[in-house]
Structure 1
Amino acid sequence: MFDALQVATTVIVGVMVGVEFSVAFVINRIFDALPEDSGQLGRAHGGRMLGAVMPVWYIGSLVLIVVWAVAGRHHEGAGLTVGAGALLLLSVVMSLLLLVPINNRSKTWTPENRPVDWKEQTKRWERWHYVRVAVLVAAFALLVAALT
């Protein structure tokens, strides 16, 4: 049962990290290359779609890591699992304090109602997202290391 928990947690967290990595390094670059207002509209749609899914994914992943850490407290790699959980918790706090407020605004923007500084706000979100992705990759690396 513990092995199944480890595999499920690693897969769920890994896919989440992959989605966030893809947003940072693929999807946003595609949006930037679209003509006229298409990129901004795509970002708004992505913000609405992922904004609905990611909270459940992040919290669910964090819960799974906590269960793994508690159930595996006497196994080798327990410290790595706790470290992964701490990093994932940091990413949740970063999201709530730094990224979600910008996302909540930008997901409602259209070419007609977006603020004058929308590009600056988008770039600020992207900078914080790069940091969050780095934290998530580190958390995932610790999870994988805990498996060995």
Structure 2
Amino acid sequence: MLTTLEVVTIVVVGVMVGVEFAVAFVINPILNALPEDSGQLGRAHGARMLGAVMPVWYIGSLALVAAWAIAGWHHDGVGLVVTAGALLILSVIMSLLLLVPINNRSKTWTPENRPADWKQQSNRWDRFHYIRVAVIVAAFALLAAALA
């Protein structure tokens, strides 16, 4: 049973990391290169779509890691799992305090109603997101190492 939990956790967290990595290093650079208002409209749509899914994914990942830590408390690697859980908690806190407020504003923007500083706000979101990606990549690496 523990092995199944470990594999499911690694897959769920790994796919989440992959999506967030793709947003940071593939999707947003593509959207930023689009002409006129297309990129901003694409970012607003992404903010709505991923803004609805990612909270469940982050909390679900954290719950799986917590279950792994509890179920494997007396097994090797539990310290790595607990540390990964702490990093995922940090990523949720970062999300709530830094990224979600910008995301909640940007998902409603259109070319007609966006603020004058929309590009600066988008760039700020990107910078915070890069840090969050580094945190969740580290969490994922620790989970993978816990299996070794």
In the alignment, what sits opposite 2:95? Answer: 95
Shift of 1:30: 0.6
* Partner deviation per Cα, 1:112-143 (whole Å, 9 max, x = no partner): 00000000000000000000000000000000
Give the drift of 1:10.
Answer: 0.2
1:42 corresponds in structure 2 to: 42
Distance in 2 (alpha carbons) for counterparts of 1:81 and 1:128:
24
Deviation digits for residues 72-93 of structure 1, max 9, x if unmatched?
0100000000000000000000
Gaps of 5+ in 1: none
Q: Deviations over 1:30-87 (max 9, x none)?
A: 1011110000000000000000000000000000000000000100000000000000
Alignment match, 1:136: 136
State the match for 1:56 in structure 2.
Answer: 56
What percent identity do the matched residue pairs reach? 77
Report the 3-state secondary structure (helix = DSSP H, G, I; strand = E; otherwise coil) of the residue aligned with 2:75.
coil
Distance 2:133 2:33 in 1: 22
Could you tell me how far apart the structure 2 residues matched to 1:29 and 1:98 are? 20
Q: TM-score, normalised by structure 1?
A: 1.00
Q: TM-score, normalised by structure 2?
A: 1.00
Q: Which runs of 4+ in 1 moved over 6 A?
A: none
